[in-house]
Amino acid sequence: MTASVFIDGGAGTTGLEIAERLAGRNDLRLIRLDEARRKDPAARREALNDADAVILCLPDAAAREAVALIDNPRTRVIDASTAHRVADGWTYGFPELEPDAAERVAAATRVSNPGCYPTGFLALVRPLVRAGLLDPATPLTVNATSGYSGGGKAMIAAFEDAQAPDATDTAFRLYALGLGHKHVSEMQRHAGLDRPPLFAPAVARTYRGMIVEVPLPDAPPLAEIRTALANAYAGRPLVRVASAEEADAMGLVTIERLAGTDALELFAFGNHGAGQARLVAVLDNLGKGAAGAAVQNLNLMLGLDELSGLKL
């Protein structure tokens, strides 16, 4: 039987990216609302309850409202917003993060898609905590840069439209200077850390792409970090861990490296013997950071090929 899927918020940045990945698939049928009805609660209620699976690509408050509109036990939900990432009763939708995570996603009815920055941070840090290489009490810093599509339609307009209310011509800017970014609790919880990491995000004048860096001034041996990461993601095609030879030979990492893909690349850089390391994750904020992850979770939940529609 062909499963029906409704994307609530389908006219937004993430929603359109998901629809693009689902286009042409004959194992799924998309339920669509026209422009006049896409924000109408009655029309949304009907679509949310008709669908076998819904993907919420909405601001947090609207995502909570959408969940409340579902009044049948059958519809399965993937929420791309921040609303449910540390909420009881929700499964964290990062199939590669723990050995049993893909099975848990496949069995869940409520799945919360990870944030784009947490995807990079957790992919680097969680295997090291699990392997005992990183003490959960270690104070960590996360330096990260996103393409401006990470801020959705409003930020895209700010960077592309000189007439937009908050138009900017900057090349690069820091934000979340009060250290209260909404992704911090998610990073701490799913990495298994005793204290919140210090998160220092930035936006660059490029549409899509992301670099997440965790510097370790007092690091375990580089070889042990690389082995722990390689072991954690063995057999997981969307997450690639650079070999020692590849990482040691690299002189630059660019934000565009994985733009337009749904993959995630992990590097441990450092100076052998210095006792320091730079852990680096590269992804597309709209790929493995949002739409790619949502489609991967959808595939798992519907028992379909996990990689269907995804761009490696």
Ligand X SMILES: NC(=O)C1=CN([C@@H]2O[C@H](COP(=O)(O)OP(=O)(O)OC[C@H]3O[C@@H](n4cnc5c(N)ncnc54)[C@H](OP(=O)(O)O)[C@@H]3O)[C@@H](O)[C@H]2O)C=CC1
Q: Which residues fall within 8 angstroms of residue 294, CB to CB, at 6 or more apart? A: 14, 18, 55, 57, 78, 80, 93, 113
- Check binding of 150 to ligand X2W (CB under 6 A): yes
> Which one of ligand X, ligand X2W, none is in contact with 59 (Cβ closer than 5 to 8 A by kind)?
ligand X
- Check binding of 64 to ligand X (CB under 6 A): no
Catalytic residue among 19, 48, 70, 116: 116
Query: Is the Cβ–Cβ distance between 108 and 53 less than 8 Å?
Result: no
CB atoms inside a 10 Å sphere around CB 103: 12
> Which one of ligand X2W, ligand X, none is in contact with 39 (Cβ closer than 5 to 8 A by kind)?
ligand X
Query: Which residues pair with residue 165 across a beta bridge?
Result: none
Active site residue 116: yes
H/E stretch holding 144 reads strand 141-147
| Residue from 13, 82, 188, 296 in contact with ligand X2W (CB under 6 A) | 82
User: What does the DSSP 8-state code read for residue 179?
Assistant: S
CA nearest to 255, candidates 291, 277, 215, 283:
283
- Check binding of 182 to ligand X2W (CB under 6 A): yes
> Which one of ligand X, ligand X2W, none is in contact with 12 (Cβ closer than 5 to 8 A by kind)?
ligand X
Q: Which is nearer to ligand X2W, 104 or 182 (CB)?
A: 182
| Residue from 91, 146, 206, 261 in contact with ligand X2W (CB under 6 A) | 146
- Check binding of 151 to ligand X2W (CB under 6 A): yes
- Check binding of 12 to ligand X2W (CB under 6 A): no
- Check binding of 152 to ligand X (CB under 6 A): yes
H/E stretch holding 7 reads strand 3-8
List the catalytic residues: 116
